[in-house]
Amino acid sequence: MEFEPQRIPDVVLIRPRLFGDSRGFFFESWQRREFAQAGIDVDFVQDNCSRSARHTLRGLHYQVEQTQGKLVRVTSGAVFDVAVDVRRSSPHFGKWVGVELSADNQFALWVPPGFAHGFLVLSESADFTYKCTDYYAPAHERCIRWDDAGVGIDWPLAPGVAPILSRKDAEGATLADAQTLP
């Protein structure tokens, strides 16, 4: 595997080694020893999956207690995946990283604790999986608006196309008003 720190170095793009032939392909999606050697030495406690239609935007979610690190991947389709640093003490506070994850490229993204996370579905639909380092805690979940001008995410939406949002995501706070992490 190749581990490529992003412009916020705590966020890491993982490129697996694919072994393919006429039957298909094989790759290791997670291997504790390799991840630990790359500085991602974590225990995962929960795996989640979602399926979403084109233009669905989920996020930007995080927990203020029981913070979760997430190893995210797309198993069908394609998404634009985003991590926003919500740690006030970080030199990258309020900055974001965005990458395309797809079933074609098989990349994964490590989103460490202290980051809000979200994604926009680029394909007809997408199946999205993620491993979490702590359990979902709804009482501690927070949401930042996807279109917060203070964060300035450049979502790849065609002109005139609005994302499909849940009520929770549509009512997210701006980063300036959100409860963030120390």
Q: How is the chain split into domains, by residue range?
A: 42-170
CATH number of 42-170: 2.60.120.10
**How much is the pLDDT for 156?**
98
Question: pLDDT averaged over the chain?
Answer: 97
At 25 the pLDDT is: 87
Instruction: Spell out the residues 6+ positions from residue 120 whose beta carbon is closer than 8 angstroms to its own.
Output: 55, 56, 57, 79, 80, 82, 155, 156, 157, 163
Q: pLDDT class for 20, splitting at 50, 70, 90?
A: confident
Note the pLDDT of residue 94.
98
Residue 137: the pLDDT is 97
Least confident of 20-29, 31-40, 91-100: 20-29
Separation of alpha carbons 123 and 82, rounded Å: 16
| Average pLDDT rounded to a whole number, residues 42-48 | 97
Residues 95-116 have a mean pLDDT of 98
Residue 18: what pLDDT?
A: 87
CB-CB contact of 133 with 42 (8 Å): yes
Catalytic residues, by residue number, are 61, 130
What confidence category does residue 96 fall into, taking pLDDT thresholds of 50, 70 and 90? very high
